[in-house]
Amino acid sequence: RDISTAQQDSLAYAEAEVQLSNGNFTNALQRFEAYLKNYPEGRYMIEANYYTGEIHSSRKEWAKAAEGYEAVAAKVPNRFGEKSLLQAARLNFFDLKQYEKAGTYYASLKEFASTQENKLEAMRGLLRSQYQLEKWPEAQDNAKELLVYKSANADDKVLANVVLARAAEADAQYDLAISYYKNV
């Protein structure tokens, strides 16, 4: 019996989802990857990429997990967008040490965060990424925003002041740099 491409798309995804629901993660991963290969712009590509990222993350396969989350993050806003932005940023910063990518995802998370907790983590992560990359001028606005953010803790304020001091030092504003270092 002939079935349409849309029906094939749905059936292929459903097959993978059943395996996931049954806890057969290896089979689910194979089917999600086959789904994404056959239907790269399929109706369930966001879900398939997200679950692929989740399975790889549970296996500590950080690079592959990041790929799944990044594919979902590229399509925000969506159902898994905020969590995928957060996971992509964390994996790129802490595990893969790709600070440029991490900064990009933290910046997007800062924009799309629906909770104060995620917004604060986005601000922290963005500032840490900028610090690692020594992007002092770009980091100044975020550092100032973090200094006055109501949920910022003492460590956040220390990092923000260090970044502001480094930026002032880079601009040869040594008195201003010293004042920020004194705050630290």
- Crossing angle of the two packed helices 154-170 and 116-132, in degrees rounded to 10: 40
Q: Is the dihedral of CA 145, 148, 149, 151 positive or negative?
A: positive
Only one residue has tokens 């879900």, namely 47
pTM, 2 dp? 0.94
Q: Return d(Cα 41, Cα 26) in angstroms, integer.
A: 23
Residue type, 179: S
Digits of tens for pLDDT over the chain (184 positions)? 678 999 999 999 999 999 999 999 999 999 999 999 999 999 999 999 999 999 999 999 999 999 999 999 999 999 999 999 999 999 999 999 999 999 999 999 999 999 999 999 999 999 999 999 999 999 999 999 999 999 999 999 999 999 999 999 999 999 999 999 999 9
pLDDT at position 64: 98
Residue with tokens 């692929």: 52
Q: What is the DSSP string of 121-180?
A: HHHHHHHHHHHHTT-HHHHHHHHHHHHH-TT--HHHHHHHHHHHHHHHHHTT-HHHHHHH
* Contact of 45 with 33, CB cutoff 8 Å: no
**Is residue 52 within 8 Å of residue 70, measured between CB atoms?**
no
The confidence score (pLDDT) of residue 3 equals: 84
pLDDT in the model for residue 125: 98
